Amino acid sequence: MSTSAARPPLPPFTRETAIQKVRGAEDAWNTREPERVSLAYTVDSVWRNRAEFPQGREEIVAFLKRKWARELDYRLIKELWAFDGNRIAVRFAYEWHDDSGHWFRSYGNENWEFDENGLMRRRHASINDLPIAEADRKYKWPLGRRPDDHPGLSDLGL
């Protein structure tokens, strides 16, 4: 059930539209605005994120508020891995620090499934955290959208 306006690009995805969808998701998550991010998902969207299983936009918003209260100075890069029809697979890495100033790079993969309106109805994420020294950070753009000229994951060797 979507009950929301269409969110182009719509499935079935081409390579170009899948890349657009991935960058749109990256840009939204880099806002760190839970309510805004939640609008890309169906009202009954089902997630698996580490050991949490949010269902629906309200739980997604609550999850994202907790996430970004803990993962400070969050910066994310996503990259298309594969696509077919209404499904997209991405790999990603993000950097953040905790309230003690310890930095991490979190690596993962996501599998996405979209409805006919381009809203994500399923999101399955697997994520691993690697402690890093602040000097080893690779994502140093100002908070918000990654600049167009900033290297992606493959360019950074991640």
For the chain, which domains are there? 15-136 (3.10.450.50)
CA contacts within 13 A on the Cβ side of 1 = 6
Q: What distances in angstroms separate CA 31 from CA 35, 116, 135, one per listed residue? A: 10, 25, 24
Residue 26 is predicted with a pLDDT of 98
Cα 16 to chain center, whole Å?
Answer: 18
- Token pair 């991490």 in the structure block, residue: 104
Q: Is 79 helix (H, G, I), strand (E, B) or coil?
A: strand
Three-state SS letters, 90-158: EEEEEEEECCCCCEEEEEEEEEEEECCCCCEEEEEEEEEEEEECHHHCCCCCCCCCCCCCCCCCCCCCC
- Is the pTM here over 0.85, yes or no? yes
Q: Is 57 helix (H, G, I), strand (E, B) or coil?
A: helix
Residue 17 is predicted with a pLDDT of 98
Tell me the two tokens of residue 96: 């953040």
Instruction: Report the distance separating Cα 26 and Cα 79, nearest Å.
Output: 9
Instruction: Report the distance separating Cα 30 and Cα 33, nearest Å.
Output: 8
pLDDT in tens, the chain (158 residues): 545 689 999 999 999 999 999 999 999 999 999 999 999 999 999 999 999 999 999 999 999 999 999 999 999 999 999 999 999 999 999 999 999 999 999 999 999 999 999 999 999 999 999 999 999 999 999 999 999 999 999 999 99
Residue 3 is predicted with a pLDDT of 54
Residue 30 is predicted with a pLDDT of 98
The amino acid at 82: A
Residue 5 is predicted with a pLDDT of 84
The amino acid at 108: G
